[in-house]
């Protein structure tokens, strides 16, 4: 219903414009993803690109269209980000702040744990002045501009050995992390042993006991079938998954103002569609994890605060050295303002 209502008008407009008004040759904007194609509910970036292209083509009279390269046809996310920074690819979808850190340190502010109380607050913050200012700064320093922030779902800790109710339960556990300094510091602050392992090797590492647990959002767990090799899942919401869609800055600035505005609008509507699908499926994802035999635990407010108290101060100290305290304060202020609203 949500996706249909978003697309109905734009698809109709696209069809109407696809005849006499469409030029013989359209300017093609190339976008790469590692997501699949064809099923809007299962492949959420396909939903993103469908909505984006509908608006782009309709509002430019067919002068611009999106050419989508799904399934990692152009390489992995690191490679596609590099292509976007160089300008051989116009847009990459699905990168993380960790990927962007290779080009600018300030992207690390998005990895701050326990800063967003909800996805709705995160969307307001990142679609507001803070997100726009951060996008401008990242564009200046990296050569790529964030056109969509996608605060989709919270990451949580899972385990194959014991239920995690408090930081004390994590003492000595081997917890898989990404090779991101803030993630490593967070796991260390909670008393566990951070163990960087490649995503492609994670299932096997959990199955064989190389690591005891990992941390990911529900839909990510299901995507990799990690519910088959984990017994417990604690909804501590330590980090917010915030994939990013980024465009080459030189290309963005070369667009006519009207087309630039259309790109901004298309990116916003496409993000709304993708995030709506993710949110609608969240309860189904948790149900699927539970039905697979995984015990799901919701910490009490007091238990949740234990995690926050263990992590925030030491991680913020490290993060301040990377991005500067002013940027951290700006994010926290924007979150507080969004919560008050």
> Which pLDDT tens digit goes with each residue over 95-123?
999 899 999 999 999 999 999 999 999 99
Residue 328 in tokens: 């951290």
Of 157, 163, 273, whose CA–CA distance to 218 is shortest?
157
pTM: predicted TM-score of the whole model, two decimal places = 0.86
> Which pLDDT tens digit goes with each residue over 47-100?
999 999 999 999 999 999 999 999 999 999 999 999 999 999 999 999 999 899
Q: Are strands 193-196 and 27-32 parallel, antiparallel or unpaired?
A: unpaired
- Say which DSSP state 102 is in: T
d(CA 278, CA 275): 5
d(CA 82, CA 138): 14
d(CA 96, CA 34): 13
- The angle that helices 257-291 and 119-126 make with each other, rounded to 10 degrees, is 170
Laid out side by side, the sheet with 27-32 consists of: 64-69, 27-32, 91-95, 244-248, 144-149
Laid out side by side, the sheet with 232-241 consists of: 193-196, 174-177, 213-216, 153-159, 232-241, 295-297
Query: Which residue in this structure is represented by tokens 């926290």?
Result: 332
Average pLDDT over residues 9-29: 48
Average pLDDT over residues 271-298: 94
Beta bridge partners of 215: 157
| Residue 55 pLDDT | 98
> Residue 42: phi, psi to the nearest 5?
-85, -30
Contacts of 248 (CB under 8 A, 6+ apart): 84, 85, 86, 87, 89, 90, 91, 143, 144, 145
Residue 327 in tokens: 């940027």
> Residue 265: phi, psi to the nearest 5?
-65, -45
The pairs formed by 179-182 with CB atoms below 8 angstroms and a separation of 24 or more are 180/98, 180/101, 180/111, 181/108, 181/318, 181/322, 182/108, 182/111, 182/112, 182/113, 182/315, 182/318, 182/319, 182/322
> Which pLDDT tens digit goes with each residue over 196-216?
998 889 999 999 999 999 999
């Amino acid at each position: 219903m949500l996706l249909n209502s978003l697309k109905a008008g734009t698809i109709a407009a696209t069809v109407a414009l696809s005849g006499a008004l469409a030029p013989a040759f359209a300017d093609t904007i190339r976008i790469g993803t590692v997501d699949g194609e064809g099923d809007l509910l299962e492949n959420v970036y396909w939903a993103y690109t469908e909505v984006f292209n509908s608006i782009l083509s309709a509002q430019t009279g067919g002068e611009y269209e999106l050419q989508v390269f799904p399934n990692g046809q152009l390489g992995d996310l690191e490679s596609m980000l590099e292509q976007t920074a160089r300008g051989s690819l116009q847009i990459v979808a699905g990168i993380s702040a960790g990927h962007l850190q290779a080009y600018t340190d300030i992207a690390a502010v998005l990895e701050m744990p326990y800063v967003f109380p909800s996805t709705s607050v995160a969307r307001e913050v990142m679609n507001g002045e803070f997100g726009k200012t951060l996008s401008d700064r990242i564009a200046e320093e990296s050569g790529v501009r964030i056109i969509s922030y996608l605060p989709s779902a919270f990451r949580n800790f899972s385990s194959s050995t014991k239920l995690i109710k408090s930081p004390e339960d994590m003492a000595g556990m081997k917890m898989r992390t990404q090779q991101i300094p803030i993630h490593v510091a967070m796991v260390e602050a909670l008393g566990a042993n951070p163990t960087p392992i490649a995503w492609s090797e994670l299932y096997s590492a959990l199955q064989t006991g190389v690591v005891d647990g990992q941390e990911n959002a529900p839909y990510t767990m299901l995507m990799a079938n990690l519910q088959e090799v984990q017994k417990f899942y604690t909804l501590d919401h330590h980090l917010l998954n915030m994939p990013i869609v980024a465009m080459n800055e030189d290309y963005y600035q070369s667009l006519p103002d009207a087309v630039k505005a259309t790109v901004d609008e298309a990116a916003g509507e496409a993000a709304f569609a993708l995030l709506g699908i993710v949110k609608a499926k969240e309860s189904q994802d948790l149900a699927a994890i539970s039905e697979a035999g995984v015990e799901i635990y919701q910490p009490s407010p007091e238990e949740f605060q234990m995690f926050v108290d263990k992590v925030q101060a030491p991680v913020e100290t490290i993060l301040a050295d990377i991005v500067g305290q002013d940027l951290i304060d700006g994010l926290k202020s924007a979150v507080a303002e969004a919560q008050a609203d």
